[in-house]
Structure 1
Amino acid sequence: MTELWKTGVFVAVALALTGAAVITTRDRVTRNEAFNDQGQPFFPEFKDPLLCTDLEVVDFDPSTATASRFRVMFKDNTWVIPSHYDYPADARDRLSKTAAAVMDLTKDSIRSDNGDDQEAMGVIDPLDAKVSALKGRGKRITLRDASEKVLAEFVIGDEVKDRSGQRYVRVPGQKRIYGVAVKAEPSTRFADWIETNLLKVDAAKLRKIEFDNYKVNLEQGYQKGEVLDVDRKDSAAPWTMPGLAAGQEVNPDKMKAVTDALADLKIVGVRLKPAGLTRDLKKSDQKGITLTAPTVASLQGKGFYMTKDGQLLSNQGDVRVYTDEGVVYTLRFGEVTFGAGDELEVGERDDAEKKKDEPKKKDGATAENRYVMVTVSFDPTLIPEPRVEEAKPSVPVGQLPADVLAPDPKDPKTIAAEEVAKKKAEMEKAEYEKKIADGKKRAKELTDRFASWYYVTPGASFRSINLDRAALVRPKQVPAPPGGAAGFPGFPGGGEMPTFPDGAGGLPQVHP
């Protein structure tokens, strides 16, 4: 029995060792399979960046413990930003480039399979409500196609300290954390996705600017102001103003600041107009705006007012800008608004517009900005018509002109000259008609673009554009004569007579 018992023990131990070996081998195989995804693409089926029609970025602000969403999507044949009232995403190429960069991301290195490392590596899902930690939350990026199928999804975290150019990346719902060379991190800034230049006007094309300095508010009503017209013949000509006194001129420095501000007027926020107001503003004459309670309330809330006959007025008057393309911009400046982040970009929403999954991003910093409405019209008189050949001056009686003999209509030179003149006139007419057509088209495009929106622009731009006579007019500057400053020519320092060593002043003494 003793020998049999010993034999049984040996067999049991052998079986146990064999089982352990099998388990160890299986664990090694499993571990090898688990780590063999290094260097592989995250989403191998995502091969066409043009399939992406929806990009969403979720960021987390630990100071307010809120997650903010930014989304760009293709809707009704237009790229829009849903969080900003479906404002057009003019920088649509950014989406395809971002999609292409995300599509190529690979699992460059495996950093951890430990869930406890997520906070330290900054890859906690910003939408994960089960995690209480405020720090260590990354940026979640989701790309979808037209059917809302997820093409790719990541949580991008902190930089990998020992791998230059890599960021910690995790796929939502998975524990593994990778080191990845992130080529393009999608921006959540509204300004990065839109055309921020409001007017897109070339300063060299500006020919006339009218400053209508009236004021309107609910307490004092309408206060009439001076209307100032400043114009120039071309981009190289000086600005002039009718009615200036002999010793006055338009301040060229101020006008340079005005034209620069108009050419670079930035959009820092948008607000959606009521549908009825948008519809009326898209009319060709832009007159007869329908007076409804929502329209009046919306306008007055931004510093704009309507007269009984349907004309628009604004808190800080109007500035009308005329271009050599026939396009006329009317800028109406409304109330001041303060804020930063989402508060500045989209303002306060009505309760019906607020979404639980889109909390408002707050920022302690504020800046002075101002509401502005822009309308556009077309004025064909701004485009010069083709010049008609002037008639030759009459010849005094008894005096014959040098070309007294009429040209022979059959002369080849005469025929060629007439043909050249005819073609020139036809080309000039065609060019004029094209400018008229292009100007009308441009005005219509801009009208459709501006009709739906109140814009928020920097307060500094308003102060550079909305000027009165005191700012625009200065005493006429007398240019210094050549060879020296104003005064006695040729002497340094101006007109004082130099002092000579032979006396207190004047010319030197003459000795016989």
Structure 2
Amino acid sequence: MSEMAKTLAFVAAAALALMAAFVVAPRENTFDVESLVGQRLNEFDIDAPKRLKIVKFNPETASTNEFEVAEENGLWTIPSKQGYPADAAKQMAEAATCLIDREVLRVAASSASQHADLGVVDPTSSNLDSQDEGVGIRVTMSDNNNDNLTDMIVGKPVKDAEGQYYVRRTNQDVVYVVTLDPEKLSTNFQDWIEDDLLKINSFDIRKVAIKDYSAEMMITLAGIQMDWDRRAEMTLTYDADTSEWQAESLQEFDKDGKKYIDFTIADDEELNQEALKDLADGLDDLLLVDVERKPAGLSADLKAGDDFMKDNAAATSLMARGFAPVAIGPNKQSDILSSEGEVTASLQDGVEYVLRFGNLQMDTETGETKPVETEEGAAPSGDNIHRYLFVMARFNENMIEKPELEELPALPEDSKEDADTESGEDASAAEEPASDESASDDSEAEESDEASTDTETPPTDEATPEDESNAEDSEDADENADAESDETDSEETSKDEELADIIEKRKSIEEENQRRLDEYQAKIKEGKERVAELNERFGDWYYVISNDVYQKIHLGLDKLVKKKEAEGETGEAASAADEGVPGLPNLPLGGAPAPQ
């Protein structure tokens, strides 16, 4: 190639490079990230999101915690918790409001090299380890067609700018500053559910039965073996009139005799009313920490079916949580035994809750990456120690007060006879007029004959004294007969009125008694329906609760019975007025304060 040709080639190459630069440079200059300021992110309707997924990074384990909630067929569930029902409508609206129409206040960065500093590194990145910092929270919302409405990463808060955070779209490097409240993007399981498990009022509790025992369970070649430490069985009833608990039955287990024997409260002992109040309050405030789906094969009343009893994997899974399928009773019926006893709470509406307590579950994952913090050197408490729980409901008709029916006033004896022979009397009444008429006809015939005879006898010119006397007697007799007839009519009228009053009262009482019976039957029906509804909700799950709550609910005899205070001794919370009359310290004003 000649020098001229080489020169032309270089010129052509330079021209092409210049043209390329000319084409690219304007496009580079036209993309001005600052022009994004003032624009809106995430423009969609508040009710459009039907699925929310939040992913957080746990640096301690170098793993992610995912929380997901979704609506399917009109029902909100938590797929990340095996489809547990969610109370999510309000929470979802708050989460959507947190992300919708976020105004870009400024652009903080346009390069991926700054992502770690601003805390917007994708937590789902495959190359993260426990040393990585600046990992953000990835939030995805999609509609009912699973089309993404937003997919963004929320980073660190902006320094000295309250409520402002760094965010970016997952598929872009540009980092924006927007105003939002990340607290609305909760991954706390309790924020998305109805965490009041039993939904009861402590004032409705009328009886509590406690089975205090511990059982260690193990699977051997011979089957399930248990080391059963039985301690006591206690039944307490609540008297609403005195606002105090009373002992219905107290029994402790005699290990030598291997049977339960009656426990008698000593003269210097009494029931611990404060502990029993805490028990009732604990049932009222029984909050969920976590849930897990129970193994297949258990019925709603926690009975273990034959197939379940033969499923070693299911039995092992159950026993790991402190529950074991066992054959109990004379008929060897399969049932579930818990490792830490059980409590039955009976309500005045007949609904009974049976709570069976299993093993501890340490550090339950709730979706939060930050572990529960305790003071340095402090022992773990019930706040970060959790326990498995099985719950079922059943109906006890004896808990519903039977109606008191008012006795009906007695009917008069003659009215009873009348009532018994009413049809016969009607027939007699129909015959009586005919008899009277016949008798009347005979009488009239006789009188007619007498009259004709009299007409044949020649009349006398004047009446004799005897005739005058007979006439006067006849008039007096007629007057007496009329008086007796009036008196009889008055007595009959009075009896009729009295009978009518009694019949009216009986009718009113019968109606009231029927109303009470109907109300009683309605309570039974409502209670049974409530039990069915509860078991439908409880049936697929066993729950996880705080160990602190368990310790309030599951009492032993040592906590249930306490020593009486010595005479003149006052509790720490007693006021000065309760200590006694000044100058007479041994004369209390009102005794021990009533339990609250």
Q: TM range, normalised to the smaller chain?
A: 0.7 to 0.9
Deviation at 1:252, TM superposition (A): 0.7
Percent sequence identity is 28
Query: Structure 1: how far apart are the matches of 2:231 and 2:289?
Result: 29
Query: Structure 1: how far apart are the matches of 2:144 and 2:337?
Result: 43
Q: Which has the larger radius of gyration?
A: 2
**What's 1:317 paired with?**
341
Deviation at 1:222, TM superposition (A): 3.5
Structure 1 SS opposite 2:548: helix
Structure 2 SS opposite 1:241: strand
The alignment covers a number of residue pairs equal to 439
Tell which deviates more after alignment, 471-480 or 373-382.
Answer: 471-480
- 1:433 alignment partner AA: Q
- 2:358 alignment partner AA: G
Deviation at 1:210, TM superposition (A): 0.5
Query: Structure 1: how far apart are the matches of 2:153 and 2:194?
Result: 28
- 2:323 alignment partner AA: F
- 1:194 alignment partner AA: I
**What's 2:427 paired with?**
none
**What's 1:145 paired with?**
143
Closer, same or farther in 2 for the Cα pair 1:368/1:165, shift >3 Å? Answer: closer
Q: Note the residue ranges of structure 2 that are not aligned, 5 or more in a row.
A: 1-18, 218-224, 250-263, 328-332, 374-379, 411-493, 571-575, 588-596
Aligned pair 1:80/2:77, yes or no? yes
Query: Structure 2: how far apart are the matches of 1:28 and 1:388?
Result: 93
Aligned pair 1:336/2:360, yes or no? yes
**What's 1:291 paired with?**
309
Query: Structure 2: how far apart are the matches of 1:477 and 1:130?
Result: 66
Structure 2 SS opposite 1:431: helix
- 1:52 alignment partner AA: P
Aligned pair 1:440/2:458, yes or no? no
Tell which deviates more after alignment, 250-259 or 433-442.
Answer: 433-442
Q: 2:232 aligns with which of 205, 226, 229?
A: 226
- 1:167 alignment partner AA: Y
8 Å Cα contact 1:485/1:494 also seen in 2: no
Query: Structure 2: how far apart are the matches of 1:486 and 1:61?
Result: 57
**What's 1:195 paired with?**
194
8 Å Cα contact 1:328/1:379 also seen in 2: yes
Structure 2 SS opposite 1:232: strand
- 1:252 alignment partner AA: Q
Deviation at 1:424, TM superposition (A): 4.5
- 2:336 alignment partner AA: L
Query: Structure 2: how far apart are the matches of 1:446 and 1:42?
Result: 44
Closer, same or farther in 2 for the Cα pair 1:422/1:178, shift >3 Å? Answer: farther
8 Å Cα contact 1:66/1:361 also seen in 2: no
Deviation at 1:167, TM superposition (A): 0.9
Closer, same or farther in 2 for the Cα pair 1:324/1:288, shift >3 Å? Answer: farther
Aligned pair 1:161/2:153, yes or no? no
**What's 2:37 paired with?**
38
- 2:525 alignment partner AA: A
Q: How does 1:19-98 map to 2 (within 5 A)?
A: 30-31=30-31, 34-44=33-43, 46-47=44-45, 49-75=46-72, 77-98=74-95
- 1:249 alignment partner AA: E
Q: Note the residue ranges of structure 1 that are not aligned, 5 or more in a row.
A: 1-18, 347-359, 394-403, 496-512
Closer, same or farther in 2 for the Cα pair 1:337/1:380, shift >3 Å? Answer: same
Q: How does 1:106-505 map to 2 (within 5 A)?
A: 106-129=103-126, 134-183=132-181, 185-218=184-217, 221-234=227-240, 237-242=243-248, 244-245=264-265, 247=267, 248-277=269-298, 280-281=299-300, 286=303, 290-292=308-310, 293-308=312-327, 309-340=333-364, 342=365, 345=366, 363=371, 367-390=384-407, 408=498, 410=500, 415=504, 424-475=512-563, 491-494=583-586
Query: Structure 2: how far apart are the matches of 1:210 and 1:427?
Result: 33
Query: Structure 2: how far apart are the matches of 1:101 and 1:389?
Result: 63
Query: Structure 2: how far apart are the matches of 1:299 and 1:452?
Result: 13
Query: Structure 1: how far apart are the matches of 2:586 and 2:241?
Result: 34
Superposed CA RMSD in Å reads 3.8
Tell which deviates more after alignment, 108-117 or 326-335.
Answer: 108-117
Tell which deviates more after alignment, 200-209 or 230-239.
Answer: 230-239
Which whole-Å deviations, capped at 9, do the CAs of 1:223-267 have from their partners, x for residues lacking one? Answer: 444321100233753110136557343211010111111111222
- 1:313 alignment partner AA: L
Structure 1 SS opposite 2:313: helix
Closer, same or farther in 2 for the Cα pair 1:468/1:378, shift >3 Å? Answer: same
Closer, same or farther in 2 for the Cα pair 1:338/1:51, shift >3 Å? Answer: same
Closer, same or farther in 2 for the Cα pair 1:118/1:469, shift >3 Å? Answer: same
Closer, same or farther in 2 for the Cα pair 1:126/1:234, shift >3 Å? Answer: same
- 2:235 alignment partner AA: D
Query: Structure 2: how far apart are the matches of 1:123 and 1:322?
Result: 53
Query: Structure 1: how far apart are the matches of 2:188 and 2:577?
Result: 54
Query: Structure 2: how far apart are the matches of 1:301 and 1:287?
Result: 16
Query: Structure 2: how far apart are the matches of 1:479 and 1:447?
Result: 49
Which whole-Å deviations, capped at 9, do the CAs of 1:411-455 have from their partners, x for residues lacking one? Answer: 6x995x777656654544443333223222221121122222222
- 1:491 alignment partner AA: G
Deviation at 1:373, TM superposition (A): 1.1
- TM score, norm. by length of structure 2: 0.65
8 Å Cα contact 2:88/2:192 also seen in 1: yes
Deviation at 1:476, TM superposition (A): 5.1
Tell which deviates more after alignment, 319-328 or 177-186.
Answer: 177-186
Closer, same or farther in 2 for the Cα pair 1:494/1:392, shift >3 Å? Answer: farther
More helix by share: 2
Tell which deviates more after alignment, 330-339 or 127-136.
Answer: 127-136
8 Å Cα contact 1:282/1:451 also seen in 2: yes
8 Å Cα contact 1:485/1:492 also seen in 2: no
Structure 2 SS opposite 1:200: coil
Which whole-Å deviations, capped at 9, do the CAs of 1:284-323 have from their partners, x for residues lacking one? Answer: xx57665222342233222222223202222222211101
Closer, same or farther in 2 for the Cα pair 1:129/1:335, shift >3 Å? Answer: closer
Query: Structure 1: how far apart are the matches of 2:351 and 2:163?
Result: 49
Closer, same or farther in 2 for the Cα pair 1:420/1:86, shift >3 Å? Answer: same
Deviation at 1:410, TM superposition (A): 4.7
8 Å Cα contact 1:485/1:493 also seen in 2: no
Deviation at 1:82, TM superposition (A): 2.0
8 Å Cα contact 2:408/2:510 also seen in 1: no
